[in-house]
């Protein structure tokens, strides 16, 4: 019987791109997309911490997922993204039904985390800054919803430290992909039939 995944995305275009990489990691493990959360064996919420409203939506959705976990003892719940990076293990302290928390630097660790026998209830937290995050990220396969449009991430982080913005604190300093690396991803996507590209940062 096929295992199924369901991903939810909150926030910016970088989160949209990150979710495509998350999907790719799960499909490399043999998971297939679920139409609904009820069908899923694993649910990953890719979160945003820019607005309080976005965080409240996440906590509300986790409440819904708790009911699913009560019915399905094997269901895995992971929290990814900027909210994960900002709150780290505090998320699990507040919501113990969360099985793992990964920041934007650790999408490439997802396969290892999910594959562990004790993944459910393992309470893994990976939010350390990774100096190789951009190169690691570039190597990850993207599974996109659209067959025409593609997000192409060109950098991570920000150096501006505006008083109203948390991005430099959760995504770190600016780190750019090489032009060759960006072009290679676009050329590969063109071969797959993609026609429209948005450079995400």
Is 16 found in the same domain as 45? Answer: yes
pLDDT classification of 123: cutoffs 50, 70, 90: very high
**Same domain, yes or no: 101 and 190:** no
What CA–CA distance (Å, rounded) separates 99 from 97?
A: 6
**Residue 102, burial from CB neighbour count under 10 angstroms (0-12, 13-18, 19+):** buried
Which among 148, 147, 137, 152 has a CA at the least distance from the CA of 182?
152
Q: Taking the model in full, what pTM does it have?
A: 0.91
Q: Are 77 and 65 in contact (CB under 8 A)?
A: yes
The residue out of 98, 126, 154 marking a domain boundary is: 126
Find the mean pLDDT for residues 122-132: 83
- Residues 103, 137 within the same domain: no
How many separate domains does the chain show?
2
pLDDT in tens, 32-51: 999 999 999 999 999 988 77
pLDDT 10s digits, 164-179: 888 888 888 888 889 9
């Amino acid at each position: 019987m096929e295992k199924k995944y369901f991903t939810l995305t909150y926030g910016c275009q970088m989160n949209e791109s990150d979710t495509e990489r998350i999907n790719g990691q799960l499909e490399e493990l043999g998971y297939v997309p679920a139409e609904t959360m009820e069908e899923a064996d694993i649910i990953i919420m890719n979160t945003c911490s820019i607005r309080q409203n976005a965080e409240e939506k996440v906590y509300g959705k986790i409440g819904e997922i708790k009911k699913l976990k009560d019915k399905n003892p094997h269901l895995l719940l992971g929290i990814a993204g900027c909210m994960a990076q900002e709150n780290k293990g505090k998320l699990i302290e507040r919501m113990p039904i969360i099985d793992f928390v990964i920041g934007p630097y650790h999408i490439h660790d997802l396969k290892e985390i999910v594959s562990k026998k004790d993944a459910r209830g393992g309470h893994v937290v990976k939010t350390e800054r990774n100096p190789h995050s951009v190169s690691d990220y570039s190597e990850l396969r993207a599974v996109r919803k659209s067959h025409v449009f593609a997000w192409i991430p060109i950098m991570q982080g920000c150096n501006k430290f505006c008083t109203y913005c948390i991005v430099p604190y959760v995504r770190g300093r600016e780190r750019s992909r090489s032009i060759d690396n960006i072009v290679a991803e676009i050329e590969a996507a063109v071969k797959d039939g993609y026609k429209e590209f948005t450079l995400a940062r």
